[in-house]
Amino acid sequence: MIRLIWSPQAVGDVEAIRSYVARDSEHYANLLVERIVAAVDRLEAFPLSGRVVPEVGDESLREIVYGNYRIVYRLKPEAVEIVTVFHSARLLRLE
């Protein structure tokens, strides 16, 4: 299995999503975060399962779409780095 690495940006993104959703429902916020993490966990066994990010076209930069969220990750030789998680209505911004 390949190792998963969450970038500080991705961790902050998930925390911000949780905080935003928790304003209406603490329960749903926790459930959403659990499901986002579960969607990422499959990358340990299937790192190529996400699609190439269409705006970039780089084979090493891929994404999983979970509900209204895009989970962008980068393939590395021995790991998968989760780069960012954002609402699909927003534009992708890589820094």
pTM of the model: 0.90
pLDDT at site 94? 65
Cα gap 28→74, rounded to integer Å = 28
Which pair of tokens denotes residue 46?
């299937």
In a domain, 95, yes or no: no
Does some domain include residue 79? Answer: yes
Q: 94 lies in a domain?
A: no
Measured CA distances, 33 to 13, 48, 78, 85, 86 (Å): 11, 22, 25, 11, 12
Structural domain including 8 reads 3-87
Instruction: Collect the ranges in the chain with pLDDT lower than 50.
Output: none
CATH at residue 38: 3.30.2310.20
